[in-house]
Amino acid sequence: MSKIIEPDYLVHFKCIGGDCEDSCCIGWDVDIDQKTYESYKNVSDLRMKKQFDKYIYENDWITDPNVDFAKVELTQDKKCPFLNADKLCIIQKHLGEKYLSNVCTYYPRTVNKVNGMYELTLSPSCPEAARLILLNPDAMKMHEVEKPGKFPIITFDVDQKSKQYQKTLVAYFSEVRTICLDTMMHSYSPIEKRMHDLAEWVDRLQKLHNQRQTHQTPEVLLKFRNKEFDPGIFTSRTLKDYSDNMVQLLLPVDSETYTMFAEEASRGDFELGETIYSSYFSEKRHILDNYFVNLMVKNLFPFTEADQVWDAYMMLFTRFAIIKVQLIGIAGFRGELTDETVVAYIQSFSKVIEHHRTFVEKAVSHQKKNGFSKLAFIESAL
């Protein structure tokens, strides 16, 4: 048995298979781990063996044999060829669940190991997971469970006491993470204020790292007080321009849903949208809170998404800017915002951004080149 920490929403998750409106078997590379690949080579079902020989090929760029030893060649319309007309997996249907690859078995779950404890979260790129994460105000309460078995894919495994992390910020992993999560969970202040407070924390941490003074982290965390900061009531032109810039780096994408939302967002009446957005989120603040807290837990914020903690913050801020500006545009285009629209938008955006091969790299370099990657810029945008 393994001890696991997970958000409450996870208890209710079950893949809805053929009823799914944006199946994970459409639009994405399908990875096959080495063990599953070998089981396909030895399968006795001749019909399935023929299909495996036709569609599965060994990967030239393996990052982890437990993940992407081989790949499935998608059809021209970017579907997994093992998906039947009822949107059900024929590998699972004819051979059983144990023939599914690690990625197919575990998606949309992410498993991390932090100081010996497993953490499980879901990705909102799955429509069913998105509904569970975003719609329930209490979805991000955490609990501890014991589950049998080992996890074949552990995305991040961190032990802050490990020698390799001495004299780095990772040596204070839990302390830093707790401060960041606490800041984002203070839902009585506007999310713009929390984004700003987080920027101040991470900016300070980045400076400690740059000055090789990470041993001062506990002291700084203890003494640090955020500056008074009043976010603007209206969405700044700076935030809108920044979001438009970043969306240009993201597009074009395979997702028809996200492409449609991006198009609506660019055509919507911004002033009207802003009024609708403010009124909708004054009632439903938990949607964005849950999205960001889930993302921060899943990505071990601010440690894993980029090489530097400040760059990881910029990626969080980038998501905030795009989501806010595009939802305002969509509200201005549709004349309303509903739970269905907001969840479908965030789900399609997550599917695009979380699996974009080059976005983080392109975005970080663009931010640095254009002077966006600074605390002063964040203050001017919020």
* Residue of 36, 66, 103, 108 interacting with ligand SF4 (CB under 6 A): 108
Nearest CB to ligand SF4, comparing residues 120 and 364:
120
Asked if 121 interacts with ligand SF4 (CB under 6 A), we say: no
The letter for the amino acid at 294 is N
CA distance linking residue 256 with residue 264, whole number of Å: 12
User: Smallest distance, Å, CB 106 to ligand SF4?
Assistant: 10
Nearest CB to ligand SF4, comparing residues 107 and 320:
107
Asked if 26 interacts with ligand SF4 (CB under 6 A), we say: no
Q: What is the residue whose two structure tokens read 């501890």?
A: 144
User: Smallest distance, Å, CB 303 to ligand SF4?
Assistant: 27
Nearest CB to ligand SF4, comparing residues 128 and 200:
128
CA distance linking residue 199 with residue 320, whole number of Å: 13
User: Smallest distance, Å, CB 15 to ligand SF4?
Assistant: 3
Asked if 15 interacts with ligand SF4 (CB under 6 A), we say: yes
Asked if 23 interacts with ligand SF4 (CB under 6 A), we say: yes
The letter for the amino acid at 262 is A
User: Smallest distance, Å, CB 109 to ligand SF4?
Assistant: 9
Stretch that binds ligand SF4, among 126-134, 135-143, 159-167, 242-250 (CB under 6 A): 126-134
Backbone angles phi, psi at 346, to 5 degrees: -65, -35
User: Smallest distance, Å, CB 327 to ligand SF4?
Assistant: 22
Q: Which helix (H) or strand (E) holds 31?
A: strand 30-32
Asked if 299 interacts with ligand SF4 (CB under 6 A), we say: no
Two tokens, residue 57: 């090929």
Asked if 126 interacts with ligand SF4 (CB under 6 A), we say: yes
The radius of gyration of the chain from alpha carbons, rounded to an integer in Å, stands at 22
Nearest CB to ligand SF4, comparing residues 20 and 272:
20
User: Smallest distance, Å, CB 89 to ligand SF4?
Assistant: 9
Find the largest Cα–Cα distance for the chain: 69
Site for ligand SF4 (CB under 6 A): how many residues? 11
| Beta-carbon count within 10 A of 339 CB | 13
Backbone angles phi, psi at 285, to 5 degrees: -60, -30
The letter for the amino acid at 171 is A
Two tokens, residue 227: 């500056």
| Residue 88 near residue 18, CB atoms below 8 Å | yes
Asked if 20 interacts with ligand SF4 (CB under 6 A), we say: yes
Q: Starting from the edge strand earliest in sequence, which strands make up the sheet with 56-58, in order?
A: 30-32, 70-72, 56-58
Judged by the rule CB under 6 A, the positions of this chain that interact with ligand SF4 are: 15-17, 20, 23-24, 107-108, 126-128
